Amino acid sequence: MDTQRRTGEQGPAPFRSSRFFCVGSKWYFTTREGFDSGPFASRERAEIGLKRFLHVVRMLPEEQQLH
């Protein structure tokens, strides 16, 4: 759980959990929208998968981006 405040946040830090989780020996990442992606062979591979996902989302036109 991340208890640090982000830039611009005020008051107590809200509850946050990791975007990465493991089921059996396979790793997954989850998005704020509730999309789970995987399986990946390792957490490191899941982190790369998340970076690729975010890169693609940033290339979408503003009206198509996930919020």
Q: What is the pLDDT of residue 1?
A: 46
Q: Would you write out the chain's pLDDT as a tens digit for each of its 67 residues?
A: 455 666 777 777 666 678 999 999 999 999 888 899 999 999 999 999 999 999 998 898 877 666 5
Domain segments of the chain: what residues?
20-59
Q: What is the pLDDT of residue 64?
A: 63
DSSP result, 3-65? -PPPTT--SSPPP---SEEEETTEEEEE-TTS-EEEEESSHHHHHHHHHHHHHHHHHS-GGGS
For residue 48, the SS3 value is: helix
